[in-house]
Amino acid sequence: MKMYLISDNIDTQIGMRLVGIDGCVAHERGEVIECTEKAIKDTELGILIYTEKAAAAAKDYLNNLKLTLHTPLIIEIPDRHGSRDIAHSINSMVEESIGLKL
């Protein structure tokens, strides 16, 4: 199983490359979509990782992929600057998962 990173900054991409995770750097919506389409063509890809800013650039596109694709698993990670708003993120995950608003 392979992992692939789509990052909004070169530092995160280099760090992940050091542990064996290939990837690309994308700043705009079109670049994120282009990198994603290239990555999902690989049948061995199991996990597709996005930095928060890269994922935010194409949020609706990624949400659609999450609903339609069985693989790869699509996840977001904070970049070197940390999470934008971890409390909001956890609250929204709980609400989406079980329907309970905190």
Contact 77, 51 (CB under 8 A): yes
pLDDT digits (tens, 9 = 90+) for 35-53: 999 999 999 999 999 999 9
pLDDT digits (tens, 9 = 90+) for 49-92: 999 999 999 999 999 998 888 889 998 888 766 666 555 566 67
Q: Where along the chain do its domains lie?
A: 2-98
Of 30, 3, 21, 8, the C-alpha closest to 84 is 8
pLDDT number for residue 29: 94
Q: Which two tokens stand for residue 40?
A: 């999902």
State yes or no: pLDDT of 16 exceeds 70.
yes
CATH number of 2-98: 3.40.50.10580
- Give me the phi and psi of 77, to 5 degrees please: -125, 155
Q: What value does the mean pLDDT take over residues 28-36?
A: 94
pLDDT number for residue 78: 82
